[in-house]
Every structure is written in structure tokens, then in C-alpha cells.
Amino acid sequence: MRYYLAPLEGVTTHIFRRVYHTCFPSMDKYFTPFFSPHSKRGFTAKEEAEILPENHRGMRLIPQILTNQAEGFLQTAEKLAYYGYDEVNLNLGCPSKTVVSKGRGSGFLAYPDELDRFLDEVFKGAKVRISIKTRIGKDDPGEFPRLLEIYNQYPLEELIIHPRLQTDYYKNVPDLDAFEEAVRKSRNPLCYNGDIRTVQDAEGIAARFPLAPACMIGRGMIANPGLLCEIRGTGAADRDAVRKFHDLLYEEYRRVNMGDRNVLFKMKEIWSYLGALFPGCEKQLKRIRKAEKADRYEEAVKECFDQRQE
């Protein structure tokens, strides 16, 4: 089974990906959070940092594009090809209202005919390989068979399925029966995504879907960056490994001069997941959440690690 790091806008930044890659075993692929096409000739500095090859040495990085306009997709893919990317991913999964109301992300799934035309145009014009990250529908799982039929008409690099509806956001449980239907019917290689938080979750997916060659993990990797070591059977990440990862991440965010407030904002978001590794540290975790100054933050983090046994 291959394992990919899921894109999480604002969380799995180029800094997070690089620090993860330095501290833990390599994921088979890393995905950028989505790029929205725009009319500027190149990328903004912030966008460029997300794809610069020197920020991703030794990693297989797949840039993701969010749009429902074939022309914008093709132009962005071409700009990415200039940086050496021969594969891009189309986001058909984002459930956020602002995206969905414009018929993008999982909002595009409600317009299958338009989606089919879009893919036709994109596959006729693209010089790079294309994968898709999709949900199983907008409002109803009954939408999925038609979507699969559409995807089957195109030679996708892979079809990554997060088997929830747009209306689920991240609630409810992934619909494994829908994924099973994809395993039966998809002509494209599949990747499963959703709610893998433990070795048992990963083993459950691998056992039920032995024909699916890949799994993508998001929140589970942020909550436990040693999860892949556990899945691969090389042992859990000990306290020192997680500390080293944390300290490097913090240092790298501080190095980019975004100001203490923004650094703390980024780190607190990481802790909203990572806190799960620190049972019994509720007081310290609360102090991390409340910290407004770097020294307060650092003190609370130190206490968290000191209190963790191994």
C-alpha cells in the first residue's frame, strides 16, 4: 500500500511538508492545498513557495488545482509544468460554502454534464498527467454511479475518493460501501481517503480493499506524525521524535518572518490535532491555546513534553 499526505489548506504548508519529511519516513506523495487559477502571468510569492522544487527536495509533490474552468486549469497546469511538475490534481472535494456556491470543489459534482465537458476539454489540452480528488456526491450517494461513469471515460493518473458528501463536510462516517462500488467499477487506479487515525484504521482499509493501491491520510498524520512508522511496523514515534518535529516546525515558521502572532496561530492549529498525543495534559494544552506570547507558548509546550512519559 502506498501512503500519501493529504492537503490541508493552512496546515500542510510547504514548511509542514518539509519538516515532516525531514523528521519522519517519507510519504509516497505529498499534495499541495489547492491553487485557484488567476490571470497573473506567474504565481504570487506565497503560491510559488508552495511549489518551489528547492522547498521539496526528495519529495514527490503533486500540486492541486481548484476550478470549474478548463482554460484556467490548463493555464495553471502549464505554469506548474514550467517548475517541472508532470502531474496535477483536480480538487472535486472541497465542501466549503464559498467554493461550493461557485460550482467548484464538491459543488461541481452537482453538475455532472458540465463536469464531463470540463474533463473532456482538459484531457484534450493537458500535457501533464491528471488525478482527481473527489467526494461521492453533493447531496446524495445516488449521485456517485454517474460520477464514476464520467471518471471512467478519462485516463486518470488516479482517482482519490473521500467517500463523504459535500453536505457531510467532515461529519458522519465515510461511506465504505460507496468506495467498494468504486473498487468494482473504476477503470482508474484508486486511492482511499478518510478518517484513518490509527494502525487499525489503516489495516482495516487495506484488508477490505486489497485492490486499492493507495491511501491518503490527513488529520491522522497531523495528530500523530509517527503514524506511518506505526503502519509500516517500525514503531511509534517517541517523545523525542515528536519534540524534534515540533521544534523544527516552530523554528521554520519563525524563520519566515511572519510575526509572532501568525507563528502562534499556525502552531496552535497544529496542536488542535497533535494534542491527542498528550492525554492528561489538558491544562497545558489549554495554556497553549491561550498563549499570546512566544515565551508563554514555549513554557506550556515544554510542560506538555515533560509530562508525556515516553
Number of Cβ atoms within 10 Å of the Cβ of 115: 22
Selected binder of ligand FMN within 7, 107, 163, 226 (CB under 6 A)? 7
Among the listed ranges 3-11, 22-30, 119-127, 255-263, the one in contact with ligand FMN (CB under 6 A) is: 3-11
What DSSP letter does each residue of the chain carry, written as one string? -EEEEPP-TTTS-HHHHHHHHHHSPPPSEEEEEEEPP-SSSS--HHHHHHH-GGGSTT--EEEEE--S-HHHHHHHHHHHHHTT--EEEEEE----HHHHTTT-GGGGGG-HHHHHHHHHHHHHH-SSEEEEEE-SBSS-GGGHHHHHHHHHTS--S-EEE--SBGGGTT-S---HHHHHHHHHH-SS-EEEES---SHHHHHHHHHH-TT--EEEESHHHHH-TTHHHHHTTS----HHHHHHHHHHHHHHHHHTT--HHHHHHHHHHHHHHHGGG-TT-HHHHHHHHH--SHHHHHHHHHHHHHHS--
Q: By rule CB under 6 A, what string of x and - marks binding of each residue 132-151 to ligand FMN? A: -x------------------
Is residue 33 within the footprint of ligand FMN (CB under 6 A)?
yes
Give the binding-site size for ligand FMN (rule: CB under 6 A): 22
Among the listed ranges 142-150, 180-188, 193-201, 258-266, the one in contact with ligand FMN (CB under 6 A) is: 193-201
Alpha carbon distances (Å) from 4 to 7, 234, 246: 9, 18, 21
C-beta nearest to ligand FMN: residue: 218
Q: Closest distance between ligand FMN and the C-beta of residue 306, in Å?
A: 29
Is residue 226 within the footprint of ligand FMN (CB under 6 A)?
no
Contact (Cβ atoms closer than 8 angstroms) between residue 106 and residue 90: no
Selected binder of ligand FMN within 63, 107, 163, 194 (CB under 6 A)? 194
Is residue 9 within the footprint of ligand FMN (CB under 6 A)?
yes
Give residues with Cβ within 8 angstroms of 200, minimum separation 6.
none
Among the listed ranges 43-51, 138-146, 189-197, 253-261, the one in contact with ligand FMN (CB under 6 A) is: 189-197
Selected binder of ligand FMN within 147, 165, 217, 228 (CB under 6 A)? 217
Selected binder of ligand FMN within 196, 227, 274, 300 (CB under 6 A)? 196
Nearer to ligand FMN among residue 94 and residue 300 (C-beta) = 94
Is residue 220 within the footprint of ligand FMN (CB under 6 A)?
yes
Q: Closest distance between ligand FMN and the C-beta of residue 145, in Å?
A: 21
Among the listed ranges 5-13, 68-76, 145-153, 271-279, the one in contact with ligand FMN (CB under 6 A) is: 5-13
Is residue 161 within the footprint of ligand FMN (CB under 6 A)?
no
Q: Closest distance between ligand FMN and the C-beta of residue 142, in Å?
A: 22
Is residue 166 within the footprint of ligand FMN (CB under 6 A)?
no
Binding interface with ligand FMN (CB under 6 A)? 6-9, 11, 33-34, 64, 91, 93-94, 133, 162, 170, 193-196, 217-220
